[in-house]
Structure 1
Amino acid sequence: MALWDRIKESASTMQQQLEAKKNDLKSGAFRDASMAVCALVAAADGSVDPSERQRVASLITGNDVLRNFPAEDLQRRFNEYVDKLTADFAFGKVAVLQEIAKAKKKPAEARAVIQIGIVIGGADGDFDASEQAVVREACFALGLPPHEFDL
């Protein structure tokens, strides 16, 4: 199976797993950590151009699991995290990873945050090395083994 197909299949599987847990994913920590991981994936290469920001924002608002939260609230939080990362990536990444770590208390939410990062990273069919690396860092922040997610 081609790499492209494996990435699409993995993202699809992750999305199905997330949808099965949708009713359990309603906390503020999950919401914030999810937007933080989305911003981290979007800025994984060190920058976020306006089209990439818009693409990720539309993926967020179209994600069934994230419909537990108001779309404009998610958009605002995502943009705040992206702004931190684009202002100073290294410093912003520390702040964003701290936000992600807040979901550590609930293992189901922590896993869902990583799954959302993978879904967002693989949505364009190219879950590249820099995106995988930041999702791996998010795993460490949440106390999850990256190999559990094939990272």
Structure 2
Amino acid sequence: MALWDRIKDSAQTMQSQLVAKKNDLKSGAFRDASMAMCALVAAADGSVDPAERQRVAALIGGNEVLQNFPADDLRQRFNKYVDQLTADFDFGKIGVMQEIAKVKKKPAEARAVIQIGIVIGGADGDFDAQERKVVRDVCFALDIPPAEFDL
């Protein structure tokens, strides 16, 4: 199976698992951590061009699990985190990781945030090394072994 097919299958599997847990993923901490994760993946290479920002925003708006929250609220939070990361990636990453860490004590939410990162990273068919690295960093921050997600 080609790498692209494995990435696509993995992203679809992750999305299916997320949908199954949709009713358990309604907290504000999950919402904020998910948007922080989306911004982190989008900015993994250190920048986010307008087309990429729009593409990720569209993926967020179309994600069934994230439909538990108002789309405008999600977009506003995503843009805030992207702005932090693009202003100064290293400093912005600290704040974004602190936001993500708020779900650490809720394993289902923590794993769902990681899965959202994988879904967003793999949505364009290229879950590249930089995207994989930031998702791995999140795994370590949440005390979840990256191997659990084939990272």
* TM exceeding 0.5: yes
The one-letter code matched in structure 1 to 2:146 is P
Q: Which residue of 1 aligns with 2:83?
A: 83
Gaps of 5+ in 1: none
In the alignment, the residues of structure 2 paired with residue 74 and residue 141 of structure 1 have an alpha-carbon distance, to the nearest angstrom, of 23
The one-letter code matched in structure 1 to 2:75 is Q
Which is further off, 112-121 or 139-148?
139-148
Q: What does 1:2-151 align with in structure 2 at a 5 Å threshold? A: 2-151=2-151
Q: TM-score, normalised by structure 2?
A: 0.99
SS in 2 for 1:103: coil
SS in 1 for 2:102: helix
Gaps of 5+ in 2: none
SS in 1 for 2:120: helix
Give deviations 1:63-114, integer Å, cap 9, x for gaps: 0000000000000000000000000000000110110000111100000000
Q: Percent sequence identity over matched residues?
A: 81
| CA apart distance, 1:128 | 0.2
SS in 2 for 1:139: helix
Question: What is the number of residues matched between the two proteins?
Answer: 151
Q: TM-score, normalised by structure 1?
A: 0.99
